[in-house]
Amino acid sequence: MASKGLIKRIRQLQQKKYRKQTNQFVVEGHKHIAEFLRNSQHYEAVHLITTVESETHNTDDTDTNSSRLVVSPQDMSRMTGLSTACDALAVFQKRQGSTGEDFAKSLEKGAQVSLALDAVRDPGNLGTLIRLCDWFGMRNMLLSGDCCDCYNPKVVRATAGSLARVNVHYAAGTLHGELSGLHAPLIGASMEGKSIYDLDLPLKKVGSDGSKSSSNGLVLVMGSEGKGLSPEVVNILDEVVSIPSYPFPDREVDASEERRIEEATESLNVAMAAGILISEIKRRLS
């Protein structure tokens, strides 16, 4: 049986201020919990809670210092942030925080493509973007300080366990300040950019004096769907790219099709756009 104090503490972790105070966060579901248990270098299990008395985790992956507890479905429903509670919940402690300096070090180690996000505040989008990075083997992301908290329960669920394998770094200062100090070309996504299919790769980093230096890697910068990239970030980009729509609006069309094109979707979801851009960049750099 779970104490009222434990239930209260776990419920509080739904809020960012308590996650920041304790450096802890909640993961729900056996599969997702198992992913974090395997990454004991970065995460330590504090509580492992289940509604069934069975060994659901591989003992080789389990942190023996964590508290194991079997609770009733009613108690589990009081802890969860879901409308329907899972039968497993865990509280994890982050062993260390990550900063923009850690992101820069990952580039120095030869990261081919990395992702940076500018003011992406939607939890579902951020979770999907983290999952995309995991799929494409991108182990590090850089986020502006006004992005959504990656340990928000909605983000954690949307990553489907990928957060355990992708290092999310938050810029200590401004995002453009962190990016401008990187020794890697910066590509931004914008509706006004050139087609990604016309981009010459690999890119060269343009220095403040106009000189160009070779680089094997690059950083793709994505902004929010509503506002796009901030002007400060746009000013330091080496290239700006877009994803062309089909049919192309500059071909000859009749009046009815022209109206249909004008009424079509204005832009792509940020996670969808990132997936297309990353896939094309990775394909051509491989």
- Distance between CA 16 and CA 111 in Å, rounded? 30
pLDDT tens digits for range 216-268: 579 999 999 888 999 999 999 999 999 988 755 555 666 666 566 555 566 78
Q: Is 285 in contact with 201 (CB distance < 8 Å)?
A: yes
Q: Are 130 and 157 in contact (CB under 8 A)?
A: no
Separation CA 149–CA 126 (nearest Å) = 9
Query: CATH topology for 4-94?
Result: 60s Ribosomal Protein L30; Chain: A; (3.30.1330)
Domain boundaries, the chain: 4-94, 100-285
57 has pLDDT over 50: no
Using only C-alpha atoms, the chain has a radius of gyration, in whole angstroms, of 22
Distance CA 114, CA 116 (A): 7
Predicted local confidence at residue 105, as pLDDT: 81
What is the tens place of the pLDDT at every residue in 151-190? 999 999 999 999 999 999 999 999 999 999 998 999 999 9
- Number of Cβ within 10 Å of residue 147's Cβ equals 25
pTM listed for this prediction: 0.87
Class of domain 100-285: alpha beta
For residue 141, give both structure tokens. Answer: 């992301």
